[in-house]
Amino acid sequence: MTSFAAVDLGASSGRVMVGRLEKNRVEIQEVHRFANESVRVGGTLHWDILSLYRGVLEGLKKAGPVESIGIDSWAVDYGLLDASGALLGNPVHYRDGRTDNVRLTVGDEKLYEISGLQKLPFNTIYQLAAAQGTPQFEIAQQMLLIPDLLAYWLTGEMGAEYTNASTTGLLDVRTRDWSAPLIAELGLRPSLLPPIRQPGDVIGDYRGTRVVAVGSHDTASAVVGVPAESEHFAYISCGTWSLVGLELNEPVLSVASRQANFTNEGGVDGTIRYLRNVMGLWPLQECMREWGNPDITELLRAASREKPVVIDLDDPVFMPPGDMAQRVAKAAGLQDPSPAVLTRCIVDSLAVAHKRAVEQAQQLSGRHVDAIHIVGGGARNELLCQLTADACGLPVLAGPVEATALGNLLVQARAAGVINGDLAALRTVLRETQRVVRYEPQIPR
Q: Which residues are catalytic?
A: 218
User: Within its chain, how far is the Cα of 104 from the centroid?
Assistant: 25
Q: Each residue of 172-205: b (16+ CB within 10 Å) or e?
A: bbeeeebbeebbeebebeeebbbebbbbbeebee
Alpha-carbon span 412 to 405, nearest angstrom? 11
196-201, long-range: CB within 8 Å, 24+ apart, which pairs? 196/159, 196/160, 196/161, 196/162, 196/165, 196/171, 197/159, 197/160, 197/161, 197/162, 198/161, 198/162, 199/161, 199/162, 199/163, 199/268, 199/269, 199/411, 200/411, 200/414, 200/415, 201/415
CB of 187 within 8 A of CB of 181? no
What torsion, rounded to 10 degrees, do the Cα atoms 63, 64, 66, 70 define?
A: 30
Alpha-carbon span 410 to 279, nearest angstrom? 28
CB of 247 within 8 A of CB of 271? yes
CA distances from 398 to 26, 202, 214, 418 (A): 18, 32, 23, 27
SS3 220: helix
